[in-house]
Amino acid sequence: MPETEIIKDEKRKGGHFWLFVTLLFFGILFFLVYTSFYDDSFARKITSNVISDSKQSAYEIEGTLSVPEELAIDSSIKKMSLKIKEPSEISVGNQIIQLSKDSGVVIDNFQGSLVIGSRKISTIDGSSSQIFINGMPLQSKSGSLEIQGKNFEYSYTALDDVSFDKLSYVATGTLTVNKGKITIRLDREQVLLKEFQGDIEITKNYLKLQGISKDFSVEDFVQKSDTTKKNVSAS
pLDDT digits (tens, 9 = 90+) for 6-40: 344 444 555 566 666 666 666 666 665 555 555 44
Shared-domain flag, residues 24 and 88: no
pLDDT at 221: 58
pLDDT for 163: 92
> Number of folded domains in the chain?
2
Query: Within this chain, do residues 146 and 44 fall inside the same structural domain, yes or no?
Result: no
Same domain, 36 and 96: no
What single-letter DSSP state applies at residue 5? P
Residue 127 lies in a domain: yes
Residue 1 lies in a domain: no
* Whether residue 210 is found in the same domain as residue 181: yes
Least confident of 36-45, 154-163, 174-183: 36-45
Lowest mean pLDDT among 6-10, 115-119, 169-173: 6-10
Q: What separation, in Å, do the N-terminal and C-terminal C-alpha atoms of the chain show?
A: 76
- Judge whether residue 63 has pLDDT over 50: yes
Note whether residue 3 is domain-resident. Answer: no
pLDDT category at 46 given cuts 50, 70, 90 is very low
Residue 4 maps to a domain? no
Show the beta-strand stretches assigned E in 85-230.
88-92, 95-99, 104-116, 120-128, 130-133, 136-138, 145-177, 182-202, 207-218
More confident residue, 144 or 110: 110
In a domain, 23, yes or no: yes
- Number of residues that make up the chain: 235
Instruction: Say if residue 188 is in the same domain as residue 205.
Output: yes
**119 and 38 in a common domain:** no
- Which pTM value belongs to this model? 0.68
Residues 183 and 70 in one domain: yes
Residue 18 structural domain: 10-55
Same domain, 50 and 98: no
Residue 5 lies in a domain: no
Say yes or no: 154 and 193 in one domain: yes
Confidence of residue 225 (pLDDT cuts 50, 70, 90): very low
Residues 6+ apart with CB under 8 A from 137: 130, 131
